[in-house]
Chain A
Amino acid sequence: MYRLNIYIGSGAVLLALVGLFLWIPQDTGTGLIVRVRRQVSIGDALAPTIAFTLMAIGGALLLVERRKHTSAEVSIAPFLHTGALVAVIALGLLLMRHAGPGILLIAEGFGATDTEYRLLRETFPWKYIGYFLGGVTIIGGMASLSAGRLQARTVLIAGVVTIGLVALVDVPFDDLLLPPNGDY
């Protein structure tokens, strides 16, 4: 834990220095104090400057905090597992965003329809395609990853649960938009 604290403390101080000397000066419209028509007021840079200073102090405190020296190693395996989970969620979100319009594009290719997605976003089945496929990917993918194997039963449960969520969230509420329909 001691070594980890050194890494976190150093990272925080480094980030604070980047923020204070590069990011804030380059990316704020006004400085620490603004004088407009002889009126002095606080500029946009002051609040983030204080926040980054706090971060530097926090990092420095972490570096000086006396801790018992241990050689506790942070294993990389859990990070890889969580990385895979995040990848599954990201894949689910991409499917959620693009599956409906993508399938519509294919349908257009076959001459089945020439309507754009925006006009179909509140009609069955288009309004549910992205959410269903994305939802099944997220639930089924995460559960399978955790179990270490992909089973038909898991996918089936994911499908049923996603349909349940549609029934719970979309059916009773007229004004509520499921992803990605609000983007169109």
Chain B
Amino acid sequence: MKFSYYPGCTVHSTAIEYAKSIDAVLDVLGIELKEIEDWNCCGAAAAHSIHRQLGLSLPARNIAQAQKQVALSSQLITSCPGCFNALKRADYALRNDGETRQEIENVVGFSYSGEVKIRSLLDILNNDVPQESLTAKVKKPLNKLKLVCYYGCALVRPQAVTELDNPENPMMMDTLMDLMGVDVRDWSYKTECCGADLALTHGDLVQKIVGRLIEHAKDAGAEAIVTSCGLCQANLDMRQTGPDPLPVFYFTELMGVAMDVPNRKAWWSKHIVDPGPLLSRLGYE
């Protein structure tokens, strides 16, 4: 399987361990990603928060870049929910709103073809890869690991735009973790917001929001949290207070453990809450 790939800015910085674990796991599964040429920032929360047209035009330029390599793959994969949300919003507007499409085509200087389909990595692993292909690669089922799946906001909302899963009770990560043997706990905070970029201006508030999430994760019997979002991971990993903080994994890191891919120590060294002790106690490292 071969897909076009939009990595997003954080693959070289705050989510570097996500990027490395994605590479390792997709290599095992024989999925090839071809990075689109000269991509730019999707605009994140900042662009749309203060300028609608800028918030649509920045991701639209990436759609333009993906159109150029449509012969290679018409599917553009992204692993970051923030980028996914921005790309999908731009695509939704370009596809469904003729007036906005003209505006954005004029700003970006391209012609929207509608050929590129934007997809999240979680969607690919759930719906394009057969479950038997995933379980066939599991060398160490993680059945002693108790955790909760945390999806956050951007991946699943608004549903008309993201076209993914149930916006209140998504199951894509739960399903993948279950295939890896993980003891997945149910909880009602799967899609509760982590406070997002308020972390930079209102650290105390985000600490409170994160504290609430951690408390409920622990109530569900979780010893760790798994997520697919760099901003959720950063807020949960950095803003926990109190004793016994929970390690916060990217789902691809845990797939990597179950598939026993090499060089995992380099991922753990990037975490603030060291997942090493938990993984050693359970006999996975």
Report if A and B associate in a common complex. Answer: no
Could you tell me which B residues sit within 8 Å of A by CB distance? Answer: none
Could you tell me which A residues sit within 8 Å of B by CB distance? Answer: none
